[in-house]
Amino acid sequence: MMLNDRVAWSKVAANERQLEAVTTYSYTAGADESTDTARALALFGAKYKAVTQIADQLADAGLLEADANRRMAIFCLVADAMMPRVLEQSIDTASHTYTAKITSTLDLADFVKAELRN
Residues 105-116: pLDDT tens digits? 998 889 989 988
Contacts of 56 (CB under 8 A, 6+ apart): none
| Domain-embedded: residue 14 | no
* pLDDT (0 to 100) of residue 88: 97
| Domain-embedded: residue 93 | yes
The boundaries of the domain holding residue 63 are 22-117
* pLDDT (0 to 100) of residue 64: 83
Q: How many independent structural domains does the chain possess?
A: 1
Q: Determine the 3-state secondary structure of 28 from DSSP.
A: strand
Q: Where are the beta strands (DSSP E) in 32-114?
A: 64-65, 85-92, 97-106
Can you give the CATH number for the domain in which 31 is found?
A: 3.10.129.140
The CA-based dihedral angle spanning residues 38, 45, 116, 2, taken in that order and rounded to the nearest 10 degrees = 160
| Domain-embedded: residue 99 | yes
| Domain-embedded: residue 79 | yes
* Beta partners for residue 88, in sequence order: 101
Residue 31 has a CB neighbour count (10 Å cut-off) of 5
The two beta strands, 85-92 and 97-106, are antiparallel
Residue 8 or 114, more confident? 114
| Domain-embedded: residue 41 | yes
* Beta partners for residue 32, in sequence order: none
**Per-residue pLDDT tens digits for 48-100:** 999 999 999 888 888 888 678 888 999 999 999 999 999 999 999 999 999 99
| Residue 11's pLDDT band (cuts 50, 70, 90) | very low
Would you say 50 and 23 are in contact if contact means Cβ atoms under 8 Å apart? yes
* Beta partners for residue 23, in sequence order: 102
Rounded to two decimals, what is the model's pTM?
0.83
Would you say 25 and 99 are in contact if contact means Cβ atoms under 8 Å apart? yes
